Amino acid sequence: MKRERITTMRRLREIVGEPSHRVTGKEIDHIDGICERFIAASSYLLVGSRGADGRMDVSPRGDPAGFVQVLDPKTLAIPDRPGNKRIDTFENLLTDPEVGLLFLIPGYALTLRVSGTASIVRDPDLQSSMAVNGREPHLVMLATVSKAFMHCAKSIARGGMWTPDQWSDTSDVPSLAEAMVAHAELSESTSRMQAIIDDDFEERMY
């Protein structure tokens, strides 16, 4: 069969069909009590943003459950923890404030999707409230919510995300050290690079 490229909404809907009112009606423009309870239990977040060059990026955030604070129904506060200093998301926000957030709860087969705009701030009170092991984040991302809805994530079930007996064998999956040495053409050996990464985990988790 010849490949068909879908280029119109009409053709897309001919194939997929129309969503029910239950699906279209679940979207809200703020964080209500239901969303807040989900966020309080979430320990992992994916942040989508767009760079000045138009390219999309997705960056992960993880911390003890409830690390994202709901300041009010329209505002979320997300701490920035020590990383590799690429700050891709923050660089993107300086030119395009649009963000998409995907909240995950380990072992729970639903997600919370939030979109809106975001800014980068320093706020002593916020930073102090987000300290872990006595270490405050240097920066906080404030997200202004324009859309939020819970998602029945069949993808999690299909991918066996929380089902250990469905997990892949990772014995042949490359390590970060191997990838860095190869992709950045580093002079360090893989074992030396792994030692640097391990040390960073020990010393700079917070």
> 177 and 111, same structural domain?
no
> 77 and 36, same structural domain?
yes
pLDDT digits (tens, 9 = 90+) for 26-66: 999 999 999 999 999 999 999 999 999 999 999 999 999 99
Task: Return d(Cα 72, Cα 177) in angstroms, integer.
Answer: 41
Mean per-residue pLDDT, 118-127? 97
> 113 and 181, same structural domain?
no
Q: Is the pLDDT of residue 153 over 90?
A: no
> 176 and 153, same structural domain?
no
- For residue 118, count CB atoms less than 10 angstroms from its CB and return exposed for 0-12, middle for 13-18, buried for 19 or more: buried
Structural domain includes residue 14: yes
Mean per-residue pLDDT, 162-172? 95
> 182 and 149, same structural domain?
no
> 93 and 34, same structural domain?
yes
Structural domain includes residue 175: yes
In sequence order, the β-bridge partners of residue 148 are: 28, 114
> 50 and 20, same structural domain?
yes
> 197 and 119, same structural domain?
no
Which residue range(s) make up the domain with 173? 168-203
Q: Is the pLDDT of residue 121 over 90?
A: yes
Task: Return d(Cα 193, Cα 117) in angstroms, integer.
Answer: 37
Mean per-residue pLDDT, 78-102? 96
- pTM, two decimals, is 0.92
Domain count, the chain: 2
> 110 and 177, same structural domain?
no
Read off the tokens for 132.
């872990």
Structural domain includes residue 60: yes
> 110 and 86, same structural domain?
yes
